[in-house]
Amino acid sequence: MSRIVHVAAAQVGPVERESPRAEVLDRLIALLTEGAARGADVVVFPELALTPFFPRWFLEGDELESFYEDEVPGPSTKPLFEEARRLGVGVSLGYAERDGAHHYNTQVLVGKDGQVVAKYRKVHLPGHEEHEPWRPFQHLERRYFERGDGFHVSRAFGGVVGMAICNDRRWPETYRVLSLQGAELILIGYNTPIHYAPDPGQDRLAGFHNNLVMAAGAYQNGCWVVGVAKAGIEGGVPGLAESQIIAPSGEVVAKTVTEGDEVIVAACDLDLCDNYRKTLFDFDRYRLPEHYGLITSQRGVVPPPEAS
């Protein structure tokens, strides 16, 4: 009997600075309802789904603090999680977390019963720490968030589920660390500006790189990968859409075709993971950590020969 999890990726279009929270929740509930109507067991929302991607601005004091949530699920997101429980659907939601004096870029996983299954705090924080006026927009995640404590998996929806957030998906270690723990389904929300100020030459490759890293991660670790965008022009900054659900083969089984609020759904057969995990990528049989010396923190970098 196949272990099939019906997963909905709920892509969210722009959330503006002045978007009232109630309006955002109404949009998320509409996406949740559509996912449930299309048979989803779990609906996955993007990174920082409740707010604009505020690290694009240099903010301080009350306005910065206004973007964080002290408790999710909690009073500010009650309508969303109450509806999810009523519909009997799980939810993965990205939001800015305040934990006392600490701040994290967080994704929470809530089961069909409304109980929190797991909370993941983003590990790979891209961008910069100080205001850099030369940039057309900022990327101040390293100023606004602390790093999380690592990647973990949980039993949920009949399988083993892990989470990652945005820049995490670009690092192969993310998928490997999760798959070494048995992850069969990895849920990833993202906010990805098309323009990359440190090297604008990469802009034209934003969509290619997005698929490249997630498809490779799925295939090389024999797991399902779900990437969900906050998309469209938000705060004047074009954000990559192209949310997609990727099988352990690396094939895209569902992909959004708009840059707004859009739901895609796939029947993820978790037993397909073994087609790769018990053959080509049988870690116990073929993977040789003892021969990967440099996998530790050493950086045995050999510089290129001096230009002659």
Encoded amino acid at 32, one letter: L
Tokens matching residue 64: 């910065």
Output 87 or 226, the one with its CB closest to ligand ING.
226
Query: Distance between CA atoms of 64 and 215, rounded to whole angstroms?
Result: 35
Tokens matching residue 221: 């670790």
Q: What are the contacts of 293-299 at 24+ separation with CB within 8 A?
A: none
- DSSP notation for 126-185: -S-SS--TTSSS---HHHH----S---EEEETTEEEEEEEGGGGGSHHHHHHHHHTT-SE
User: In the set 166, 185, 245, 254, which binds ligand ING (CB under 6 A)?
Assistant: 166
Q: Is 106 a binder of ligand ING (CB under 6 A)? A: no
Q: Is 225 a binder of ligand ING (CB under 6 A)? A: no
Quick one: which segment of 74-82, 191-199, 224-232, 293-301 binds ligand ING (CB under 6 A)? 191-199
Size of the chain, expressed as the number of residues it contains: 308
Q: Is 191 a binder of ligand ING (CB under 6 A)? A: yes
Query: Distance between CA atoms of 2 and 7, rounded to whole angstroms?
Result: 15
Quick one: which segment of 15-23, 85-93, 165-173, 251-259 binds ligand ING (CB under 6 A)? 165-173
Q: Is 190 a binder of ligand ING (CB under 6 A)? A: yes
Q: Is 235 a binder of ligand ING (CB under 6 A)? A: no
Binding residues for ligand ING restricted to 113-152, rule: CB under 6 A: 126
User: In the set 57, 58, 171, 196, which binds ligand ING (CB under 6 A)?
Assistant: 196
Catalytic residue numbers read: 47, 122, 166
Q: Is 161 a binder of ligand ING (CB under 6 A)? A: no
Residues of this chain that interact with ligand ING (CB under 6 A) are 126, 166-167, 170, 190-193, 196
